[in-house]
């Protein structure tokens, strides 16, 4: 009798734990597989990442990593946020410049993008760069 009660409690615990995992996964988390090396060496092609779903995207900050549908093909893209609404952004000879200051990016191979320049842009409200 004690053994069957213990078995039922164990089974109920397993069912509850499984339901909790499914609920958390369904409501709050997503899984993404990285399809490019644009974030290497932090995140590489083939890596699988767990992504938190946010109700308030306004809580996203500089240096957060985000996923979004690529404007080119709709595939899920993964990128690091370098600026938020109101900040200015430019690339000057392969260096990221935010609000007039060069950002230290030790993980970037500047030699591979040397000579790249962009105009300075201001990130619009409710957008990220």
Number of domains in the chain: 1
Establish if 102 belongs to a structural domain. yes
Establish if 124 belongs to a structural domain. yes
Establish if 90 belongs to a structural domain. yes
* DSSP 8-state class, residue 6: H
CA angle centred on 22, ends 21 and 24, rounded to 5°: 65
CB count, 10 Å around CB of 80?
A: 15
**pLDDT one-digit tens code per residue, 7-27:** 777 877 777 777 766 666 566
Q: Is pLDDT above 70 for 59?
A: yes
Record the pTM. Answer: 0.69
Q: What is the pLDDT at residue 20?
A: 66
**pLDDT one-digit tens code per residue, 75-88:** 778 888 999 999 99
Establish if 78 belongs to a structural domain. no
């Amino acid at each position: 009798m004690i053994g069957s009660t213990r078995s039922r409690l164990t089974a109920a615990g397993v069912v509850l734990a499984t339901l909790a995992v499914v609920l958390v996964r369904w409501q709050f988390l997503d899984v993404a597989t990285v399809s490019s090396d644009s974030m290497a060496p932090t995140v590489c092609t083939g890596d699988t990442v767990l992504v938190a779903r946010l109700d308030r995207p306004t809580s996203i900050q500089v240096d957060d990593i985000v996923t979004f549908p690529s404007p080119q093909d709709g595939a899920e893209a993964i990128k690091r946020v370098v600026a938020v609404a109101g900040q200015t952004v430019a690339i000057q000879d392969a260096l990221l410049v935010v609000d007039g200051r060069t950002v230290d990016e030790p993980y970037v191979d500047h030699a591979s993008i040397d000579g790249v320049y962009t105009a300075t842009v201001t990130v619009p409200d409710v957008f990220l760069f």
